[in-house]
Amino acid sequence: MKLVVAIVQDEDTPTLTDALVAAGHRFTKVSTTGSFLRTGNTSLLIGVEDDQVPAVMGILRRTCRRRTQVAVPYSPALEPGLLYMPENFEVEVGGAVVFVIDVSRFERL
């Protein structure tokens, strides 16, 4: 058995979760926040048998797309005399960060 941990952008979550449910996969959804852009993400914990991992990865590839977004720089603190704010910049967001972890024991209580 495997635990697939998929971290996806909130914008992709509804399509992804609909596709996973349609394919018969169960998951736990956890709201998370990325550290770089400080935007909403969703982390899905998906428990599957070893032979189902490729199907889950296929769903992730189809539903989580990369795109460019304008990022507003974050300044942790503005002190007097430090009024420099860097300009906005484009970054690539989306897609998915996926971890596939071996599960030695699973119980549904």
Sequence spans of domains, the chain: 2-74+87-102
CATH top class, domain 2-74+87-102: alpha beta
CA distances from 53 to 5, 12, 90, 109 (A): 11, 19, 33, 24
**Which tens digit of pLDDT belongs to each residue from 94-105?**
678 999 999 999
Spatial CB neighbours of 18, under 8 Å, sequence gap ≥ 6: none
**pLDDT (tens digit per residue) in 13-35:** 999 999 999 999 999 999 887 65
Q: What is the pTM of this model?
A: 0.74
Q: 18 or 109, which is more confident? A: 18
**CA–CA–CA angle 105, 107, 109 (5° rounding):** 160
* Most confident listed range (12-21, 69-78, 90-99): 12-21
